[in-house]
Amino acid sequence: MEHVRLDSDGLTLVFALEADGAKHGAADCIYLGARLPEGEDLAALAQASARGRHENQPDVPPVPGLWPQQGDGWQGTPAIRIRRLTGEAIAADVRLTSWEHEGSELTCRFADARAGLHMSTHWAVEDGGAIICQSEGWNESGEAIVLEHLASLNLPIPRRFSEFTAFSGRWAGEMQETRQAIDPNGFTRRSAGGKPGFGGGNWLLLHSGDEVLGAHLVWSGDHDVRITCDTAGSADGRAMLQMGAALTDGGAIIAPGGAFGGQPVVLALGPDRSALAEVFHRHIREQVLPARADWGPRKVHLNSWEALGFNLTEPALIALAEDAASLGVERFVLDDGWFGRRRDDTSSLGDWLVSPDVFPQGLAPLIDHVHALGMDFGLWVEPEMVSPDSDLYRTHPDWCLHLEGRDRPTMRGQLALDLARPEVVDHLFAALDALLREYRIAYLKWDHNRDLFPSAAGQTEGFYALLDRLRAAHPHVEIESCSSGGGRIDYGVLARTHRVWPSDNNDAIERLRIIPAWSQFLPLEVLGSHVGPSPNPITGRRLTMDFRAKVALFGHMGVEADPAQMSEDERATLTAHIALYKAWREVLHQGALWRLSHPDPSVTGMMVTHGDKALALVAQTAFSPVFDAAPVRLAGLEPQARYRVTLPEPWPPKVRHYLANPEGWRTGLILSGAALMTQGLALPLTHPETAWLIALERLPQ
């Protein structure tokens, strides 16, 4: 048995490897935690956690480790399930054959010589602390096989993790957290809609007393995520975390010589959820987001959807653009309804030609006007879909996902194109490329409003290929991934886009849950965050502009409402907050995000520190049970440093008169980081729907 360790600054992984070829060949992860000292005796570490054989166990107790399989007596879900084309199951007997270790990377090679399967699992630890694990395989059997299941990550969970947080959700209610024990019931979360879905089953948190381990499957298709407990004691008592792509019904046929798998899983470890977010954010900022360094400031958007819906006319759009510019908006986004005969959601997806009814001279007059107002122009598209009532469908009825001779059930009146067909990807590329060539378009809102059924092998690969090709041809066009809101959010899509639409729900109270949930894994600069109308069209809730605008500041800010429907006062408040966003976006979009805790569960707090500046948002959503809400304790500051603390105006009208010394909050209180983090600030957080911004500036020593 040999031992290999991978380290980052704060973390160590230790593997126990035994490459006895056909005879035994096991690989295990025996340590995942805080960085171990140099020279730690890894054999002693292995011995300290080794278990002797107990009653009711095979004579050679199985080591499920990094490649769990049932043939040795382990009873959980195997890493791989395959069968012959005839349907006969192949009992895989996969053994570790060799490994390569270089620096902070380890590649383990496994094989099942009899079944002709070759597999590899690659582990890498990044400087920033993120761990990447990725498994792939090759069919060397000489005959086609059917792959039913492959977990890209198989991680025996260190026993100190006893609880986990899973996410679930629905349209307009993404990423709802539930925390539960890792218990004999285990956990399975599988999606089948061809995308990660609103429920965020591709994200998971594991908790020990003082640590959080986060896990994410990097894949924009379906996921299969499991925690299997070893309750029967068939192995060593550790539960197994398994994450991989969920395959379509019936599995995937892998031709002789064909490769499969390869979806990465990203793991991160931190002492708390803020520290965990920092590891994920660093990973995505440095490794995932395309050329983020060249992005420039995230422009304030105005999107036409909540303002005009399908009621598009050139004069109405020009008026909206003028209003947008007067608020300080920097990008005008024309949403659905600009193409074909699409005057509602029943037609024309697939016909990506500007509607002559709405725009008799094409989009140029509108785009020119938008540019003359000092803004750039963005456009909504939904390329992967087709309306049955469209020229594309009439010409190519076989291009959509369908079962021959069966009904073609629609969703939102539409069908999905089969992106596994190269001619479909070619056609979509040509249509989008033509638009981007003809018009000065800085940004595409790329939507996806239908689940994929019947199931669709190769769809995600086709989607990636289309995006990659388009980005190569138009590297300066920014792209947002939207799927009826947050239905397709993962690091795979973000490697090819610039931001995501976290939810169709712009209600600020809902956003105070949705943004902190997504920002556990994603930094604020990729989370579209718009000021919606009041009443909100989805929840019906009325909220003040002050509250809506303050909440929208923590993200990539935009407006998705009609300024013409706002009062003078509301427009002034919105303008002031857009100016605040511009002043603070460098901090918000480059800094470290801290989750603030407060004894009142109806108070949400977030804070970003960057260099010598910090900005916090604290928001109350209920009527406080006490007159004087507990002070807000800040986070992420240097205890010994001194900070000037101000409350940026405008202040929430409902409660501003409760401030004891308004002038002091304007000129600034000088307090140490220790005082701010221990005692905090007594702010009026008594009334529902009030929010405060807190600005900090570290003073020279």
User: What x/- string results for residues 435 through 474 when contact with ligand GLA is judged by CB under 6 A?
Assistant: ------------x-x-------------------------
Asked if 305 touches ligand GLA (CB under 6 A), the answer is yes
Asked if 134 touches ligand GLA (CB under 6 A), the answer is no
The nearest distance, CB 425 to ligand GLA, in angstroms, is 22
Question: Do 302 and 558 form a contact (C-beta atoms < 8 A)?
Answer: yes
> Does residue 357 have an active-site annotation?
no
In the bound state with ligand GLA, the residue whose beta carbon lies nearer, of 125 and 302, is 302
* Candidate list 447, 451, 507, 546, residue with the active-site label: 447
Pairing mode of beta strands 145-150, 131-139: unpaired
User: What x/- string results for residues 339 through 378 when contact with ligand GLA is judged by CB under 6 A?
Assistant: ------x---------------------------------
In the bound state with ligand GLA, the residue whose beta carbon lies nearer, of 128 and 337, is 337
Question: Do 408 and 446 form a contact (C-beta atoms < 8 A)?
Answer: no
In the bound state with ligand GLA, the residue whose beta carbon lies nearer, of 112 and 336, is 336
Stretch that binds ligand GLA, among 71-79, 478-486, 573-581, 680-688 (CB under 6 A): 478-486
CA distance 632 to 677: 9
Amino acid making up residue 603 = V
The nearest distance, CB 693 to ligand GLA, in angstroms, is 27
> Does residue 210 have an active-site annotation?
no
Q: Which of 485, 516, 532, 652 binds ligand GLA (CB under 6 A)?
A: 485
Secondary structure (DSSP) of 504-541: S---HHHHHHHHHHHTTTS-GGGBEEEE--SS-TTT--
Question: Do 596 and 635 form a contact (C-beta atoms < 8 A)?
Answer: yes
Burial of 184 (0-12, 13-18, 19+ CB in 10 A): exposed
Asked if 518 touches ligand GLA (CB under 6 A), the answer is no
Question: Do 354 and 317 form a contact (C-beta atoms < 8 A)?
Answer: no
CA distance 191 to 219: 12
Residue nearest to ligand GLA (CB): 336
* Candidate list 323, 451, 504, 562, residue with the active-site label: 504
CA distance 148 to 150: 7
State the Rg of the chain over Cα.
27
Stretch that binds ligand GLA, among 22-30, 367-375, 479-487, 673-681 (CB under 6 A): 479-487
In the bound state with ligand GLA, the residue whose beta carbon lies nearer, of 384 and 504, is 504
Amino acid making up residue 75 = Q
In the bound state with ligand GLA, the residue whose beta carbon lies nearer, of 138 and 446, is 446
The nearest distance, CB 339 to ligand GLA, in angstroms, is 12
Give 475's DSSP letter: T
Question: Do 529 and 522 form a contact (C-beta atoms < 8 A)?
Answer: no
Residue 458, token pair as written in the block: 């190769």
Amino acid making up residue 2 = E
CA distance 610 to 120: 40
Residue 491, SS3 per DSSP: helix
The nearest distance, CB 485 to ligand GLA, in angstroms, is 5
In the bound state with ligand GLA, the residue whose beta carbon lies nearer, of 244 and 337, is 337
The nearest distance, CB 392 to ligand GLA, in angstroms, is 17
Asked if 289 touches ligand GLA (CB under 6 A), the answer is no
Asked if 484 touches ligand GLA (CB under 6 A), the answer is yes
Stretch that binds ligand GLA, among 154-162, 261-269, 477-485, 692-700 (CB under 6 A): 477-485
Using CA of residue 457, residue 458, residue 464, residue 469, what is the dihedral sign? negative
Q: Which of 380, 399, 581, 643 binds ligand GLA (CB under 6 A)?
A: 380
Q: Which of 112, 222, 224, 335 binds ligand GLA (CB under 6 A)?
A: 335
Burial of 353 (0-12, 13-18, 19+ CB in 10 A): middle
In the bound state with ligand GLA, the residue whose beta carbon lies nearer, of 307 and 607, is 307
- β-bridge mates for residue 333, sequence order: 303, 378
* Active site members: 447, 504
Residues that bind ligand GLA (CB under 6 A): 305, 335-336, 345, 380, 447, 449, 482, 484-485, 501, 504
